[in-house]
Amino acid sequence: MSALLELKDCRLTYPSNARNEADKLALAIDHLTIREGDRIALLGKSGAGKSTLLRHIRHQLADRASWCPQDASLVPQLKVFHNIYSGALDRHSGFVNLTNLLLPSSHFEAEITALAEPLGISELLWTKADELSGGQQQRVAIARALYQQKPILLADEPVSALDKLQGREILELLVSRHDTSVIAMHNAQLALTVCNRVIGLKDQKLFLDCPVDQLSADSIGQLYQ
C-alpha cells in the first residue's frame, strides 16, 4: 500500500497559559506512516493527544480528507439540509451555493435525502439544527462528512452520542464510503470491530502501532493504566 503521509521527528505543541513561557509538548512522534487503505483507530486516555494528532493530519491532508468533528459544529440557525450541503461548498460556485441556500434544487435534495436515509435523519432535513438531540446532530455531522466526498476520513469520536448498535452500523457505513480512515475512539471494542490498525497514544508518545489481528488485550489495557 502506498504512503499517504509520513511523520518523522514530529513534535506537536500547544500554547502555555503562563506569560513568556515556551509552548508545551502535546505529542511526540518519532515515526508514523499512514498508508492508503488503512482503517486506523486512534486509542488512548482523554488528553493522550488523539485530537491533536487528528488536527495535524487534517492540516497535512486537507484537500483530500473529509472531516467529522466530535462536537458536530453545525450552524444552529440552518436546517439539516443546508448543514449537510455545506460539505459540498468547495465543489460548487458561490452563485450555486447561494441559490441553493435560498431555493434548494431538486437535484441536491435528492442527493442529500439518499445520503440521510441510512442515517435515520431523512425526515429531519427541514428541521433547524438547534432543535435536534445530540445524537441527531452527530448523525448530521456524519452526513456532512460523507457529502464532502473525499477519499480519506478523519473523525474525532464520530459516534460517541449514539447507542452501541447504532454506533457500529453508522461507523461501518462511514468507513465503507472512504478509502482510508483515521478515527479517534474512546470505545476500544467498537474500534476493533471496524478498523484494521490501532495506533495507541500514551504519555505524549506513540505507545503502540499494530494491525488489529496482532493486538493483545494486555496492550489495550496498558493504554488506559
Provide the residue range defining the domain that includes 87.
Answer: 3-223
Q: CATH number of the domain at 104, please.
A: 3.40.50.300
pLDDT score, position 20: 80
Q: What is the pLDDT of residues 213-225, one digit of tens each?
A: 999 889 999 999 8
pLDDT score, position 16: 80
Q: What is the pLDDT of residues 43-61, one digit of tens each?
A: 999 889 999 999 999 999 9
Q: Residue 126's beta-bridge partner residues?
A: none
Confirm if 219 and 208 have CB atoms less than 8 A apart: yes
pLDDT confidence band for 146 (50 / 70 / 90) = very high
Q: What is the pLDDT of residues 130-144, one digit of tens each?
A: 999 999 999 999 999
Task: Report the chain's mean pLDDT, rounded to a whole number.
Answer: 94
Give yes or no for residue 197 having a pLDDT over 90. Answer: yes
pLDDT score, position 27: 94
In the chain, the number of structural domains is 1
